[in-house]
Amino acid sequence: MTNAERAKHQFTDDDRCPLCADSVEDIDHVMRKCSAIFPIWILLIKEDKLDEFMSMEMKTWIRINLDNKKYFAKVSEEWDILFGSILWNTWKKRNSIVFDSPLENSSSLLERSRRLQTITFTALEQEDARKKG
Protein backbone atom coordinates (compact mmCIF):
# COMPACT_ATOMS: atom_id res chain seq x y z
CA MET A 1 0.00 0.00 0.00
CA THR A 2 1.41 3.41 -0.92
CA ASN A 3 1.59 6.15 1.68
CA ALA A 4 -1.30 7.98 -0.04
CA GLU A 5 -3.46 4.88 0.59
CA ARG A 6 -1.99 4.28 4.07
CA ALA A 7 -2.83 7.88 5.03
CA LYS A 8 -6.38 7.50 3.70
CA HIS A 9 -6.83 4.49 6.03
CA GLN A 10 -5.06 6.32 8.90
CA PHE A 11 -2.12 3.89 9.05
CA THR A 12 0.17 6.90 8.77
CA ASP A 13 -0.15 10.67 8.87
CA ASP A 14 2.63 11.16 6.33
CA ASP A 15 1.53 10.57 2.73
CA ARG A 16 4.85 11.65 1.22
CA CYS A 17 7.11 9.42 -0.85
CA PRO A 18 9.78 7.77 1.34
CA LEU A 19 12.29 7.76 -1.55
CA CYS A 20 12.29 11.51 -2.34
CA ALA A 21 10.12 13.02 0.46
CA ASP A 22 9.08 15.48 -2.22
CA SER A 23 5.61 14.43 -3.31
CA VAL A 24 2.51 12.48 -2.28
CA GLU A 25 3.33 8.81 -2.78
CA ASP A 26 0.76 7.17 -5.03
CA ILE A 27 1.50 4.25 -7.34
CA ASP A 28 2.08 6.51 -10.37
CA HIS A 29 4.62 8.52 -8.40
CA VAL A 30 6.57 5.61 -6.97
CA MET A 31 6.73 3.57 -10.21
CA ARG A 32 7.24 6.38 -12.74
CA LYS A 33 7.62 9.94 -11.54
CA CYS A 34 9.76 9.75 -8.40
CA SER A 35 13.25 11.25 -8.74
CA ALA A 36 14.56 7.84 -7.59
CA ILE A 37 13.08 6.05 -10.63
CA PHE A 38 12.64 8.65 -13.38
CA PRO A 39 16.37 8.77 -14.34
CA ILE A 40 16.23 5.00 -14.94
CA TRP A 41 13.29 5.38 -17.32
CA ILE A 42 15.07 8.21 -19.17
CA LEU A 43 18.03 5.87 -19.65
CA LEU A 44 15.98 2.92 -20.91
CA ILE A 45 12.98 4.36 -22.80
CA LYS A 46 13.03 5.61 -26.40
CA GLU A 47 13.15 9.40 -26.35
CA ASP A 48 10.16 9.83 -28.67
CA LYS A 49 8.06 7.50 -26.47
CA LEU A 50 8.95 8.95 -23.06
CA ASP A 51 5.91 11.27 -22.76
CA GLU A 52 3.54 8.42 -23.59
CA PHE A 53 5.42 6.08 -21.24
CA MET A 54 5.08 8.60 -18.39
CA SER A 55 1.40 9.41 -18.85
CA MET A 56 -0.25 6.15 -19.90
CA GLU A 57 -2.93 4.62 -17.67
CA MET A 58 -1.21 2.30 -15.17
CA LYS A 59 -2.68 -1.12 -16.11
CA THR A 60 -2.22 -0.45 -19.83
CA TRP A 61 1.33 0.72 -19.11
CA ILE A 62 2.20 -2.53 -17.34
CA ARG A 63 0.49 -4.67 -20.01
CA ILE A 64 2.27 -2.99 -22.94
CA ASN A 65 5.67 -3.24 -21.27
CA LEU A 66 5.19 -6.94 -20.59
CA ASP A 67 3.54 -7.86 -23.93
CA ASN A 68 5.26 -5.62 -26.45
CA LYS A 69 8.99 -5.47 -25.72
CA LYS A 70 9.77 -3.21 -28.66
CA TYR A 71 7.20 -0.48 -27.97
CA PHE A 72 8.97 1.61 -25.33
CA ALA A 73 12.39 0.09 -24.67
CA LYS A 74 15.59 1.23 -26.38
CA VAL A 75 16.93 -2.32 -25.95
CA SER A 76 14.03 -4.71 -26.31
CA GLU A 77 15.87 -7.95 -25.54
CA GLU A 78 14.45 -9.35 -22.27
CA TRP A 79 12.71 -5.99 -21.66
CA ASP A 80 9.71 -7.67 -20.04
CA ILE A 81 11.98 -9.26 -17.42
CA LEU A 82 13.97 -6.07 -16.81
CA PHE A 83 10.80 -3.97 -16.57
CA GLY A 84 9.30 -6.34 -13.99
CA SER A 85 12.60 -6.43 -12.10
CA ILE A 86 12.74 -2.63 -11.92
CA LEU A 87 9.19 -2.42 -10.55
CA TRP A 88 9.93 -5.17 -8.02
CA ASN A 89 13.19 -3.58 -6.86
CA THR A 90 11.60 -0.12 -6.64
CA TRP A 91 8.86 -1.52 -4.41
CA LYS A 92 11.42 -3.44 -2.32
CA LYS A 93 13.61 -0.37 -1.86
CA ARG A 94 10.58 1.75 -0.93
CA ASN A 95 9.44 -0.88 1.60
CA SER A 96 12.91 -1.10 3.13
CA ILE A 97 12.61 2.60 4.00
CA VAL A 98 8.96 2.57 5.11
CA PHE A 99 9.44 -0.48 7.33
CA ASP A 100 12.97 0.45 8.40
CA SER A 101 14.63 -2.77 7.23
CA PRO A 102 17.68 -1.82 5.19
CA LEU A 103 18.50 -3.83 2.07
CA GLU A 104 21.47 -6.17 2.46
CA ASN A 105 23.69 -4.33 -0.02
CA SER A 106 23.81 -0.86 -1.41
CA SER A 107 23.99 -1.48 -5.16
CA SER A 108 21.80 0.76 -7.27
CA LEU A 109 18.23 -0.04 -8.18
CA LEU A 110 19.21 -0.53 -11.83
CA GLU A 111 22.14 -2.83 -10.92
CA ARG A 112 19.85 -4.94 -8.75
CA SER A 113 17.27 -5.08 -11.52
CA ARG A 114 19.81 -6.10 -14.18
CA ARG A 115 21.09 -8.83 -11.85
CA LEU A 116 17.54 -10.13 -11.31
CA GLN A 117 16.96 -9.96 -15.09
CA THR A 118 20.06 -12.14 -15.69
CA ILE A 119 19.12 -14.65 -12.99
CA THR A 120 15.55 -14.90 -14.31
CA PHE A 121 16.67 -15.23 -17.94
CA THR A 122 19.18 -17.96 -17.04
CA ALA A 123 16.55 -19.87 -15.04
CA LEU A 124 14.08 -19.65 -17.94
CA GLU A 125 16.71 -20.91 -20.39
CA GLN A 126 17.57 -23.83 -18.09
CA GLU A 127 13.87 -24.65 -17.77
CA ASP A 128 13.51 -24.63 -21.58
CA ALA A 129 16.57 -26.86 -21.96
CA ARG A 130 15.24 -29.27 -19.33
CA LYS A 131 11.85 -29.50 -21.09
CA LYS A 132 13.53 -30.25 -24.42
CA GLY A 133 15.54 -32.97 -22.68
Q: Identify which of residues 31 and 34 has a Cβ nearer to Zn ion in the complex.
A: 34
Q: Identify which of residues 19 and 73 has a Cβ nearer to Zn ion in the complex.
A: 19
Cα–Cα distance for residue pair 69/79, rounded to 1 Å:
6
Least Cβ distance, residue 128 to Zn ion (angstroms): 38
**C-alpha angle with apex 2: 73 to 105, nearest 5 degrees?**
65
Least Cβ distance, residue 106 to Zn ion (angstroms): 19
Where does 46-108 have alpha helices with state H? 50-55, 58-67, 69-72, 79-98
Q: Can you say how many angstroms the Cα of residue 107 is from the centroid of all Cα atoms in its chain?
A: 15
Interface residues toward Zn ion, by CB under 5 A? 17, 19-20, 34
Q: Identify which of residues 32 and 69 has a Cβ nearer to Zn ion in the complex.
A: 32
Least Cβ distance, residue 43 to Zn ion (angstroms): 17
